[in-house]
Amino acid sequence: MAEENPVTQRRVLRGQHAHTLERQVTKAVSCRYWLFLPRRYGRTAERWPLILFLHGAGERGRDLRLVKKHGLPKLVQKQKDFPFLVVSPQCPRDEWWSNDTLCALLDEVIETYAVDPDRVYLTGLSMGGYGTWSLATAHPERFAAIAPICGGGNPLLAPRLQHVPVWAFHGAKDQVVLPKETERMVKALRRCGADEIQLTVYPHAEHDSWAETYANPALYEWFLQHRRHQAPE
């Protein structure tokens, strides 16, 4: 059922629905994405926390239904009262996550919907785990906390995340993306004195470490404990 959001004066459809981004940044960017709105969204002037979810390499392409195969888009199909807005874009076939496109997508959703900009969270699995590390180190000021799963990044950029809480996950038996990819980012963060860094390595998990991670309510409770870091003037 559609109702008018008192914050944005916009008609909203609760649940998860497909959308398309068309936006001009330094160049034209576009992507298709799922947007999930909780059952209670739009009934008050409340501003909501948002999670940006990045899928893995196997879900790239033009069939948006693939994005629901794993992770949060799959979860919210059944959990209509999930207490976040969830944005789940699709990466084109044979391409990698584009930070420009993802930032433009965040801009559009934050401008259009009742999002609390101080409670924007980032997570992704496999290729999306790499994308999480990449986007967060490029734009740490945008995120209240991040949760990369079985991905990796550039340890030289880790100091940029000094004030962004990180909870990283990996399977000890992962042969697709080796655990050392996550471990070296965590070590780099600890060396630079990051404010908050956690690492969970599942001793018996292979590459599919995201199933246990996204099924754990503690992850979402942890997200909600954090707000965007405000640097001192």
127-138 helix and 99-112 helix, angle to the nearest 10 degrees: 80
Q: Answer yes or no: is 229 within a domain.
A: no
What would the pLDDT profile of 188-233 be if each residue is shown by its tens digit?
Answer: 999 999 999 999 999 999 999 999 999 999 999 999 999 997 654 3
Q: Answer yes or no: is 103 within a domain.
A: yes
DSSP 102-161: HHHHHHHHHHHS-EEEEEEEEEEETHHHHHHHHHHHH-GGG-SEEEEES----GGGGGGG
Q: Answer yes or no: is 55 within a domain.
A: yes
What would the pLDDT profile of 66-111 be if each residue is shown by its tens digit?
Answer: 999 999 999 999 999 999 999 999 999 999 999 999 999 999 999 9
Indicate if the pLDDT at residue 155 is higher than 80.
yes
Indicate if the pLDDT at residue 118 is higher than 70.
yes
Q: Answer yes or no: is 233 within a domain.
A: no
Q: Is the dihedral of CA 162, 158, 111, 149 positive or negative?
A: negative
Number of domains in the chain: 1
Q: Answer yes or no: is 134 within a domain.
A: yes
Give the pLDDT confidence score for residue 17 in this predicted structure.
85
Indicate if the pLDDT at residue 2 is higher than 80.
no
Lowest mean pLDDT across 8-22, 133-147, 153-167, 173-187: 8-22
The predicted model scores a pTM of 0.88
DSSP the chain: -EEEETTTTEEEE-EEEEEEEEEESSSEEEEEEEEEE-TTTTSSS--EEEEEEE--GGG-SS-GGGGGGSHHHHHTTT-TT-SSEEEEE-PPTT----HHHHHHHHHHHHHHS-EEEEEEEEEEETHHHHHHHHHHHH-GGG-SEEEEES----GGGGGGGTTS-EEEEEETT-SSS-THHHHHHHHHHHHTT-S-EEEEEETT--S--HHHHHT-HHHHHHHHT--------
Indicate which CATH number applies to the domain containing 113: 3.40.50.1820
Q: Answer yes or no: is 178 within a domain.
A: yes
Q: Answer yes or no: is 232 within a domain.
A: no
Residue 169: give the domain boundaries: 2-224
Buried b (16+ CB within 10 A) or exposed e, 157-191: bbebbeebbbbbbbbeebeebebebbeebbebbee
Q: Answer yes or no: is 230 within a domain.
A: no
d(CA 113, CA 204): 40
- The residue length of the chain stands at 233
What would the pLDDT profile of 26-54 be if each residue is shown by its tens digit?
Answer: 567 889 999 999 999 988 889 999 999 99
Average pLDDT for 105-131: 97
Indicate if the pLDDT at residue 1 is higher than 70.
no
- The radius of gyration of the chain from alpha carbons, rounded to an integer in Å, stands at 17
